Amino acid sequence: MANISITRRCRRHCSYCFAKHELARESEADMPPEVYEAALGFLERSGFPEARLLGGEPTEHPLFREYVDRARERGFRVVVFSGGLVPQPALEYMAALPVDSFSVVLNAAEPANDAEALVNRQREVCRALGAKVMLGVNIRSSDEDPSYVLDWVTEYDLCRTVRVGIAHPIWGGTNDFFRLRGPRVIPVFERLVAIGAGIGVNVGFDCGFTPCMFSREFVDSHADMFMHSVTDPGAPTAQGWPTKGWASISDAGHDAAGLRQAHSDASVGQGRKAPASQREAIGVRCGPVVDILPEGDCIACYALSRFRRLPLPSEGARNDLVSFFDNELSPVLPAGVHRECTQCDYREKGMCNGGCRARRALRLRPNALIPLDPEPMGETTHP
């Protein structure tokens, strides 16, 4: 999939924000209609069924309603990635949309640490949208307990899948991120899966996770989440498998993004479960996503936004941009996020591609990759 970032406006200032650098850039705040139409054309040429709208906070775009309507008119299912500070008119509009063609991935606030006003507004969003909402949570430390999102799923009858992300670094940036201390098990992830299974909630993992973050026993007992062969991460759909009932969970990820499952059993077709290789398993989900910025520039992903950017092409499709970013990055990146990755049996078996590319870039010698521009100073400039 590819994402359309329609605005740089955001009233949340998350320390871990993967878009922190881009939000602070002195550039186009809101995507103009002509760029949006071109972006929808790009999605059509790429064969994607979804229009995934990011920000910033996409519901703050002055033309948010018109943009959603336009995407649905062109036959897209719309997925909005929101931080929860949704203007009331936008919330009322979204509440009236059908769940089969519209959904929201909500970046959940942490009740114990975030502002009460933010938490209360997110609760209002959940009450208003119900099953249209998939909760997501970004984990910055192994000491965190994100199980509160499971309580919200049952309390507000939300989508029975939650998205778990790990806070990644912006290469060349200054955001807060999860500091990995070598290839070791991070128990919080397995605990969350176990709690979810007990209440019928599926826990899905976003990009950048690696098998070594889980115990051998967990990897062996959850074969549907891992794999032994790698499929093309740029494929727009799971080849040979219908997408009704589950969706590709590989690359939208950041904030996003992009985990979306309609049912907790991830069933496919005649009750069959999609093999891990078709679902882009944990360990092989890091590749160029292609995020389209408000001014029309394209980046591989927000974590690598300071590396390269290309203008949105008037011809061609996502795979063309993926090939460009791959050709630029692959020759210079180390094998994995850890020194030990070169001798890892998961990598030898094709179960891992080395983890987050932005993390791998942090291991490079100085000046191996040159940032496009200086890090912006201060907070977001687009209120």
Element housing 237 (H / E) = none
The first and second tokens of residue 213, run together, are: 């973050």
Q: Is 223 domain-assigned?
A: yes
Domain of 209, CATH number, reads 3.20.20.70
What is the reported pLDDT for 1? 81
**How far is it, in rounded angstroms, from Cα 198 to Cα 158?**
16
Give the integer Cα–Cα distance in Å for 28 and 19.
14
- What is the full DSSP assignment across 296-339? SEEES-GGGTTT--EEPPSSS-HHHHHHHHHHHHTTTS-SSSSG
Q: Is the peptide bond before 41 cis (omega within 30 degrees of 0)?
A: no
Our count of domains for the chain comes to: 1
Q: Torsions phi, psi of 256, nearest 5?
A: -110, -65
**In a domain? residue 322:** yes
Residue 267 pLDDT more than 70? no
Domain that holds residue 132: 3-362
- The reply to whether 377 falls in a domain is no
Q: Report whether pLDDT(364) > 60.
A: yes
Specify if 383 maps to a domain.
no
375, part of any domain: no
Render pLDDT for 118-175 as a digit per residue (tens, 0 to 9): 999 999 999 999 999 999 999 998 888 999 999 999 999 999 999 999 999 988 888 8
Residue 151 falls inside a structural domain = yes
CA distance 279 to 286: 13
Q: How close are the terminal C-alpha atoms of the chain, in Å? A: 28
Q: What does the pLDDT read at residue 76?
A: 98
pTM, two decimals, is 0.84
How confident is the model over 229-247, as a mean pLDDT? 32
Average per-residue pLDDT for the chain: 83
Residue 21 domain-assigned (yes or no): yes
* Residue 101: Cβ-neighbour burial (10 angstroms; 0-12, 13-18, 19+): middle
- Within-domain flag for 46: yes
In eight-state DSSP terms, residue 217 is H
Q: Per-residue pLDDT for 227 more than 90?
A: no
- Say what the pLDDT of residue 26 is: 72
